[in-house]
A and B are shown apart, each in its own frame.
Chain A
Amino acid sequence: MATLKDKAAIVGIGSTAFARRLPESEKTLACRAVLAALDDAGIAPAEVDGFASYTMEETDEVELAKAVGAGDVTFFSKVGYGGGGSCATVAHLAAAVATGQASVGVAWRSRKRGSGPRPWTNTTAQLPTPAQWTRPFGLLRPADEIGMLARRYMHEYGATRDHFFNVALACRNRANQNPAAMMYDRPLTREMYMTARWISEPLCLFDNCLETDGALACVIVSAERARDCRHRPVHVHSAAQGLPAQHHGMVNYWNDDPLTGPAWTAARHLWKQADFGPEDVHVAQIYDAFTPLIPLSLEGYGFCGRGEGAAFTEGGALEIGGRLPLNTAGGGLSEAYVHGFNLINEGVRQLRGTSTAQVPDARTCLVTAGEGVPTSALLLRS
């Protein structure tokens, strides 16, 4: 069987500044990120013939291709379910490049979530018919929906707020090393966490990702072409999407086992296609819109057994030098929440050896997309 294994590589990354409020439009930010990524790769915009994005992206490929001066485009793709699609953009372009449908692919994300409207403020427009089963009862925001899973998880497995704090702290500590992070100069303490205001109890302020304006992009080419680019290629070793049986989106309460989310489905395929296993992952960039998604994802991607994800976070396991250094630029919790795309670019930096919180000799990295919704994941290796 043909596989994607190491046939394509990420050769360029780019981003804008991250801030609560940036003056430029989403389209302008997208163009800046894409041109920066192409410059990083040393590839001219006219060579771009593939684009991939994911839903809730308001800059479309037509506008972007025209603005940055792309050539004739022969592949474009848009993956569903918001943050669940981040890694799939790279996967789709890797497949397109590996099968000759495109030669230079660009994936991007541009968001003005910091200064723009929050999606949940217009629940009827943003969240159609399935919301008839949740919205009238005041389950309004993703934090409420994930909070419901978090309390059940705490009940079933003895997870505590200290476990969620371990996640928030690891991300904050890495952001404190990253001058580009929104929380660079804002250390977090256990007291701050434990006394913070509730958002949706059992989730407090620091269990929630940031609201950010910013854009990112990366460039994907074949492994052969990658050898001639400016930086050490970061190979797409394995990729998967995951939509489990009887899944229902963020409120996954009515399948047989709501605590095994899309990560489990994506993980099975991800590892089946890989030459290595979870024990060989040197650094992880795991989608952290909310802290409880980390223990759930650690279980789903096989770093520990069912119900062991909370305990896994103990003893500095997620810190640099720990068992699985996590979200080394600060993640969505403390670098920027740009629907997970910053996790992809940080995975690339780790495997280039250029992270601000570099894991010594990191050669393998797991990157995941939004858990709780139909998701996607990548195994990267240098």
Chain B
Amino acid sequence: MLRPVIDDDGAPFWKYAASGELRVQTCAAPACGEPRFPPRPCCPHCGSFDSEWRPTSGRGRIWSFVLPHPPLLPGYAEQAPYNAVVVELLDAPRIRLVGNVVTAPDAPLNSVDPARLRIGAGVRVVFTRDGLPRWRLERA
């Protein structure tokens, strides 16, 4: 399975994720405060290089999803077909994260019946033992 290839801008995201927190980079200029994703050195709204990592509620909605089938890289092929989703954060709807919907943090990528997935479904973040954010369906 692939691990994130982390760059300087993305490092804080993964550091917080490793401690079980979903935070997003947010402009720290007093008059701005816009969240942005993916992380980058400066704010596309105001140009400030000051940023902070703001906690989120960890809740979101499924924006879209796919079910990849082989040919796939080993590790992924063994769990295929699995789901990959894009989740829109409730706190910041323009922040969308790619992830997987699973039954438990370290459950296989194909642990949720695809029939339960739909666009708009509510999800809540969970974290694997090695710090990858994943998503569980909220009760309807």
For residue B106, give the distance in angstroms from its CB to the closest CB of chain A: 14
| Contact A198 B6, CB 8 Å, known A138-B76, A155-B64, A251-B98 | no
Q: What residue of chain B has the Cβ atom nearest to residue A127's Cβ?
A: B5
Assembly CA distance A136 to B66 (angstroms): 15
| Contact A152 B119, CB 8 Å, known A133-B97, A138-B100 | yes
Assembly CA distance A215 to B66 (angstroms): 33
For residue A125, give the distance in angstroms from its CB to the closest CB of chain B: 10
Assembly CA distance A285 to B69 (angstroms): 29
At the interface, yes or no: A302 with Cβ under 8 Å from chain B?
no
| Contact A155 B86, CB 8 Å, known A129-B5, A134-B98 | no
Please give, as numbers and ranges, the residues of chain A lying within 8 Å of B79 by CB-CB distance: 138
Q: Are A121 and B73 in contact (CB under 8 A)?
A: yes
Q: What residue of chain A has the Cβ atom nearest to residue B88's Cβ?
A: A253
Q: Are A133 and B68 in contact (CB under 8 A)?
A: no
Q: Are B109 and A138 in contact (CB under 8 A)?
A: yes
Contact digits for B55-73, partner A, Cβ 8 Å, 1 yes 0 no:
0000000011111110011
At the interface, yes or no: A200 with Cβ under 8 Å from chain B?
yes
Q: Are A132 and B84 in contact (CB under 8 A)?
A: no
> Which listed residue (A132, A136, A258) contacts B7, Cβ 8 A?
A132
Please give, as numbers and ranges, the residues of chain A lying within 8 Å of B7 by CB-CB distance: 129, 132
| Contact A198 B10, CB 8 Å, known A135-B2, A152-B63 | no
Q: Which of B2, B10, B98, B109 has the most CB of A within 10 A?
A: B98
At the interface, yes or no: B33 with Cβ under 8 Å from chain A?
no
Q: Which of A143-151, A170-178, A310-318 contacts B (4 or more CB under 8 A)?
A: A143-151
Assembly CA distance A133 to B132 (angstroms): 10
Assembly CA distance A121 to B7 (angstroms): 21
- Interface residue count for A (Cβ, 8 Å)? 40
Q: What residue of chain B has the Cβ atom nearest to residue A203's Cβ?
A: B66
Please give, as numbers and ranges, the residues of chain B lying within 8 Å of A256 by CB-CB distance: 94
Assembly CA distance A258 to B98 (angstroms): 14
Assembly CA distance A246 to B66 (angstroms): 23
> Which listed residue (B63, B66, B95, B114) contacts A200, Cβ 8 A?
B66
Please give, as numbers and ranges, the residues of chain A lying within 8 Å of B20 by CB-CB distance: none
Assembly CA distance A340 to B67 (angstroms): 27
Assembly CA distance A253 to B95 (angstroms): 9
> Which listed residue (A130, A143, A144, A254) contacts B96, Cβ 8 A?
A254
Q: Are A144 and B84 in contact (CB under 8 A)?
A: yes
Interface positions, chain B 1-28, Cβ under 8 Å from A, are: 1-7, 10, 14
For residue A255, give the distance in angstroms from its CB to the closest CB of chain B: 8
For residue A296, give the distance in angstroms from its CB to the closest CB of chain B: 14
For residue A370, give the distance in angstroms from its CB to the closest CB of chain B: 19
Interface positions, chain B 34-71, Cβ under 8 Å from A, are: 37-38, 44, 63-69
| Contact A140 B38, CB 8 Å, known A134-B98, A198-B67 | no
Q: Are B5 and A132 in contact (CB under 8 A)?
A: yes
| Contact A253 B86, CB 8 Å, known A129-B10, A131-B5, A134-B98 | yes
> Which listed residue (A123, A197, A253) contacts B2, Cβ 8 A?
A123
Q: What are 10 A-B pairs at a CB distance below 8 A? A: A120-B73, A129-B5, A135-B5, A136-B4, A140-B72, A148-B64, A155-B64, A200-B68, A202-B66, A203-B66
3 nearest A-B residue pairs (beta carbon): A132-B4, A201-B67, A152-B64
Give A residues with C-beta under 8 Å from B: 120-121, 123-124, 128-141, 143-144, 147-149, 151-152, 155, 197-203, 246, 248, 251, 253-254, 256, 258
